[in-house]
Amino acid sequence: MNKKVLPLAVGAASAVVMSAAHAAMYVNERGTGETLIFPFYSAENSNNTNINIANTTDQHKAVKVRVLEAQNSQEVIDFNLYLSPQDHFSFVVLETADGGAALKTGDKSCTVPAIPEDGVPFRSLKYVGDKQVTDPAAADDFDNTGIGRTQVGYIEVIEMGQLDPDSPALIDADGKTNAAAAITHSSEGVPADCSILVDAWSTIAGVDGDWLAESKTASTGNTGNSEFLASWAGGGLYGYASVINVEQGATFGYDAIAIADHVAAGATGSDMHYEPGDIKPNFADGALDTAAIVSVNGEAVTLDFDGDYPAETTERIQALNALIMASEVYNDYVTDSAIGATTDWLMTFPTKAFHVNSTEPVEPFSKLWNGKSACEPTELAAVDREESTPPPPPSPGSSGPDFSPKPPADPVAPPAGDDVPLCYEATIVQFATETAMGSSTVAVGVNQYLDAANGWATVSMMPADIDTTLGPCGTDGDISTTGDWTNPCDRSIDAGDGTLFGLPVVGFAVQKYISSSAGATYAMATEHKSCAVGSGTVSNDC
């Protein structure tokens, strides 16, 4: 799609800061960047999720679109998207007849592979190893490897590079059309020839296309680099999503979180142009920055993690974490049955998989993925609209409140006291007895803890606020080296001169109302508010 007028979406961006050009990565309050994070998609319970991506620049861009399931961020589909100047691409995630999910689009922008007219189903290949069944009669056995796991998750959009519009036609076997011209739309809104790009990533009659051949060569960085700019010139992408449930007559929308200057200075225009289907680029890619600009009491402070962790990949992940680190998250909830109100809070950890899939959890996370969950306890504190708080929770060691729906069964420990377990990469905290977002497989309910039907609440990530004693976390992900342990984990990330505490989280609250008199359903999304405790150059209290 090209040069369409787009409707406004309900805002749900993360905290924002300002930056100098390519000084360090930052969350762009104006909504554009090189990386977009869509915290939620759902095809569950008749939900459809519409995803929209726009290129506001005059550049010809190569972009990775990666869809990840909610439980452990395993990839269910990815593809390369090529956007011409001012181009717009949209697709829908919807339920399939077999209980899974699929991606479908009528958009004409170039993708590799080309997306069939009837769509492409999501795949469970990346998480089949999670199956843990030893005794079919045992209550703690489980199998979460079904295709239904693909129905809920989140989406990453990462700019891979910029094509050179003045390049000779190198990847076209006929030598007639360069890649930038091939993806440019005509006056009818159709690209000139997407097949040139598909062929460049294909093997035809035993011969690899130019980009595929280059991606197999270490000297080119294992990327396709022909016809790309010599120097990186990224940015200017924005995105938004809408979740629609036709049966319920409800919809809500949100804006994607935009990370600007994510790529470090000195990168080439093709540094991240990897093969379709490759797990790269991801948030640990070598082209990305190790420095982040965070907002502390209204001031922009730079944290550089270079040299502060055993692996450069970890340094890049921690820099991204710094942008979205939260010690406390705040939002409203409404559960008044008289107006059919329900509220869900989405809590998405877009980097969690990098911390929990080794042999030891890497700070700030304290639990490894066990094939079923990686539950991080948090504290919920609710306040009604008249500034009243509920009675204090039972003391540690007493029986805790009944969470409904319950968190995963053994081997996950039950919550202690008033702890709320956030067990997945994307967890829904459900405040009412029914879900507002139409998704329940990754939900934890807190309705029995609330003292009032309406109010606002705080979810605290700080270890001092929770009743559970956290296990150890390290810095290298290797259980055999204990010298790097913090025990118990203090949920911190350290840039040497500055330390932040909490967990890296994004998301929003969805409120849904049902009017029986009008026969109508209404829904809205409101972005989370947050505070991050810090020390050193980012000293701050919540």
Rounded to two decimals, the pTM is: 0.91
User: What was the pLDDT predicted at 128?
Assistant: 84
Query: DSSP letter at 59?
Result: S
* Domain assignment present for 298: no
Spell out the residues 6+ positions from residue 492 whose beta carbon is closer than 8 angstroms to its own.
363, 364, 486, 499, 500, 501
Average pLDDT over the chain, rounded to whole? 89
pLDDT (0 to 100) of residue 144 = 86
Tell me: do 253 and 332 sit in the same domain: no
What confidence tens digit (pLDDT) does each residue in 117-172 have?
999 999 999 998 886 666 666 666 667 889 999 999 999 999 999 999 999 999 99
Domain boundary at 239, 260, 281, which? 260
The total of structural domains in the chain comes to: 2
Per cent of the chain over pLDDT 90 is 78
**Contact between residue 247 and residue 4 where contact means Cβ atoms under 8 Å apart:** no
Residue 80, domain CATH: 2.60.120
256 and 335 share one domain: no
Q: 112-126: string of b/e by CB count within 10 Å (b at 16+)?
A: beebeeebbbbbbee
Same domain, 236 and 371: no
Question: Where is pLDDT greater, at 485 or 193?
Answer: 193
24 and 208 Cβ atoms separated by less than 8 Å: no
Give the tens place of pLDDT for each residue, 289-327.
999 999 988 899 999 999 999 999 999 999 999 999 999
Q: Is the pLDDT of residue 413 over 80?
A: no
Nearest to 420 by CA among 369, 468, 490: 468
Question: In the structure encoding, which two tokens stand for residue 216, read together?
Answer: 């197999």
The pLDDT tens digits of the residues spanning 335-387 come to 999 999 999 999 999 999 999 999 999 999 999 999 899 999 999 999 886 65
Chain segment 227-253, per-residue pLDDT in tens: 999 999 999 999 999 999 998 899 999
pLDDT of residue 36 exceeding 90, the answer is yes
Is residue 210, in this structure, part of any structural domain at all?
no
End-to-end CA distance of the chain: 45
Residue 358 included in any domain: yes
Do the domain assignments include residue 185? no
Site of tokens 């956290």 = 470
What average pLDDT does the segment 449-471 reach?
93
How far is Cα 292 from Cα 281, in angstroms, rounded to an integer? 19
438 and 361 Cβ atoms separated by less than 8 Å: no
Question: Do 250 and 339 have their domain in common?
Answer: no
pLDDT for 199 equals 98
Q: Are residues 126 and 252 in the same domain?
A: yes
Q: What is the pLDDT of residue 78?
A: 97
Range(s) of the domain holding residue 41: 26-163+230-260
Cα separation, 402 vs 400, in Å, equals 7
Confidence of residue 481 (pLDDT cuts 50, 70, 90): confident
